[in-house]
Each structure stands twice: as C-alpha cells, then as structure tokens.
Amino acid sequence: MGGDYGPSETVPAAAQALSLLPHLNLLLFGNIEMCAEALDAYGLSHHPNVSFVHTTQSVSMAESPAFALRHQPDSSMRRAIEAVAGAQADACVSAGNTGALMAIAKHILKVIPGVDRPALVSCVPTIAGTRSVLLDLGANVNCEAENLRQFAVLGGVVAEEVLGLRHPRIALLNVGSEANKGNIPVKSAAELLAATPGLNYCGYIEGDALFQGIADVIVCDGFVGNIALKTAEGMVRLLSSASHQQMKGWAGWIQSWLTRFFKRRLSHLNPDQYNGASLLGLRGIVIKSHGRAERSAFTNAILQAAVEVERQLPARIAERIDALPLNRR
C-alpha cells in the first residue's frame, strides 16, 4: 500500500520480481479492494507463488510513527513485519512511511544485542565502478557519537558480507578532512572509532567524495545521510531532465540520440538501480524502498531482500558484533 503510487506500482513490481526469480514466494499485505484490479491485470490473483493478506488499515506517509505503532494494529506494514517475526516470511519490503517502518520493526522484531538503534543502509554506486555502504539514510535524525560508532560496525559487516570486501575502509562524512573540523557528535565519533580495535577507520571524507569510491563504508547521522543522498539523486534527475526540451526535425533527431547517450552515462548512478535500503541491526530483514519508486525500482528492492535472505544478513551481523572486541563489556 505504501509509497507515492501504492498498488499501481508495487503489484506490477511483484509480478516483475517473480518473473526474474521464479522461486520467490510473495505475501502481499494490503486492502484487497484497492489491489484487486492490479492483481488481475498482472496475473497475480491466482498465482501459485502469491498469497494476498487483506488488511483493514494502512499507514499514511504523514502518520506519526507513535500513532502507527499504537493505533494501527491491522496496518499492511505491521502485518508484513509480524509475518517476518512469526517466520511466515523471510523478509519485509515496504515503500511506506520510514519512521513508522522503523518504529514498528524495532518494536516487533527487536534489535540485535549490541545495537541500540537500527540504521537505514544502502550500497551506492561509485565512479570507480565499486559500491560504497552509506548509512544512516534517515532512520535516526538525532544521533550521538556512540550511535555513529555502531553504524560504522554495521556498515563494516555489510561491506564484508554483501560486497565481499576484506578490512573495508570506514570513513565519517564531515565538512572537512582536517581533525579539527566537524560538529560535536562527529568529532567524538572520530575519537571512538580510532580507539575501536578491529575497525579499519580511515578518517573524514567530504560530500564531494561521496561517490568516488575512496571509502567502502561512509557513516553519518540519518539527517545528513538522507539529505546528501537525496541531493545527489535530485542532481542526477535534474541533469537527465536538462536534456529533455524537445526540438523539431533534424535537430530533434540528433537531440533524442544525445539524450539516450546522456541517459546511459547517468544510468550507472540512477537511484532506481540501487533502490532498496536495508533497515539493519534488527533480528529480521526489512527493506525500505524509496517512496517515489516506480515498478522497476520497487522490483530492485524486492531483489535486494532476496539477496539478504540468501546471505542471512541478520545472523551474520549478530555473529560479527558478538565477536567484536567493543562488545566484550
């Protein structure tokens, strides 16, 4: 039910994901009346791998997390997370309200011991052709230094388990690269990280180095991470659209060719390609799709969930956090 488009995009995305990974089993949670048409249109009404669970409520984008948690026991979001907690599902994917998803997931699934707050994590593309783990992307807008340290640990595990890196280079996002730069939590986090054994902490990086691949894990609070990622995404969309004013005749033909060339250049950094941020630090897999995701982007979020199920990411994180010296306290 979530996101800016609801079932008109999430249902075709489910069909697309099934055609790509035919072994998937999909449980769809939502209002049957609002979904029936799309389910029929995309052949999912009687599909053997698709079960539909009717729910009477859904969390709107403007709802407060506290209200969604306390007063919407039959929301599609909550029922989907409960399915993960009850082992009817291996992962939950939602394009809905981030704050509510975070609050409900934390309440129902609980956090992994050693983690105070889950973080929203994405593997973003870089100009070097690699990917960097960026977190937090908006789950925690008020962070202390200790939260940032835990995010560094979580991000390091993702870099090792998902990206297959050894000793991933961990950096803090800051307004300068010199030691005296930064706000209070970032400066304190730098001290904590430098004092944490087993972490390959490399210092500060600035916003313009975010997509250069010079760090494998980039840590920031959720306010900064959300704004940095959305600014970068907005820039890519803006530059794509800059080549859109259609000309006529020969000029138009040349222009449309250039536009295709231009778009291919940008596709590498297209946010749709990496849609699907993981809510990490929970005892279960929860994937947050961008609210603005259309079907192909939402499909990527479903595929991302399938990858994490295969890697058993929460179990790996729990093992690694348990083994880290900082948690022997």
Taking CB under 8 A as the criterion, the residue among 47, 54, 110, 237 binding a copy of itself is 237
Residue 25 tokens read as 């089993």
Locus of tokens 């940095």: 228
Residue 113, by phi and psi: left (phi above 0), alpha (psi -120 to 50) or beta? Answer: beta
Taking CB under 8 A as the criterion, the residue among 224, 279, 280, 287 binding a copy of itself is 224
Asked if 212 touches a copy of itself (CB under 8 A), the answer is yes
Give the range of 104-112, 194-202, 209-217, 275-283 binding a copy of itself by CB under 8 A: 209-217
The least distance separating a copy of itself from the CB of residue 75, rounded to whole angstroms, comes to 17
> Which among 144, 72, 153, 60 has a CA at the least distance from the CA of 112?
153
Number of shown-chain residues binding a copy of itself (CB under 8 A): 56
Asked if 245 touches a copy of itself (CB under 8 A), the answer is no
DSSP assignment of 177-235: SSTT-S-HHHHHHHHHHHT-TT--EEEEE-GGGTTTTS-SEEE--HHHHHHHHHHHHHH
Taking CB under 8 A as the criterion, the residue among 41, 235, 247, 315 binding a copy of itself is 235
- Dihedral (CA of 43, 47, 50, 52) sign: positive
Asked if 233 touches a copy of itself (CB under 8 A), the answer is yes
Residue 284 tokens read as 């279960």
Spatial separation of the C-alpha atoms in residues 78 and 127, rounded to whole Å? 38
Nearer to a copy of itself, 91 or 124 (CB): 124
Residue 219 tokens read as 């840590």
Taking CB under 8 A as the criterion, the residue among 20, 32, 41, 179 binding a copy of itself is 179
Taking CB under 8 A as the criterion, the residue among 22, 48, 62, 164 binding a copy of itself is 62
Question: In whole angstroms, how large is the CA radius of gyration of the chain?
Answer: 21
Q: Is 292 exposed, middle or buried (0-12, 13-18, 19+ CB in 10 A)?
A: middle
Give the range of 162-170, 216-224, 279-287, 307-315 binding a copy of itself by CB under 8 A: 216-224
Asked if 247 touches a copy of itself (CB under 8 A), the answer is no
Binding mask 22-61 for a copy of itself (x = CB under 8 A): ---------------------------------------x
Q: Where are the alpha helices (DSSP H) in the chain?
A: 7-20, 32-41, 65-71, 76-85, 98-109, 145-161, 184-194, 222-241, 249-267, 295-311, 313-323
Asked if 178 touches a copy of itself (CB under 8 A), the answer is yes
CB atoms within 10 A of CB 322: 12
Asked if 194 touches a copy of itself (CB under 8 A), the answer is no
Residue 59 tokens read as 């969390």
Binding residues for a copy of itself restricted to 90-109, rule: CB under 8 A:
98-99
Residue pair 3/58 in contact (Cβ under 8 Å)? The answer is no
The least distance separating a copy of itself from the CB of residue 271, rounded to whole angstroms, comes to 9
Binding mask 129-168 for a copy of itself (x = CB under 8 A): ---------x--xx--------------------------
CB contact burial 170-194 (16+ within 10 A = b; e otherwise): bbbbbeeeeeeebeebbbbbbebbe
Taking CB under 8 A as the criterion, the residue among 207, 270, 296, 327 binding a copy of itself is 207
Asked if 209 touches a copy of itself (CB under 8 A), the answer is yes
Note the residues at the interface with a copy of itself (CB under 8 A): 61-62, 64-65, 98-99, 127, 138, 141-142, 173, 175-176, 178-184, 186, 206-212, 220, 222-224, 226-239, 241-243, 258, 261-262, 265-266, 268-269
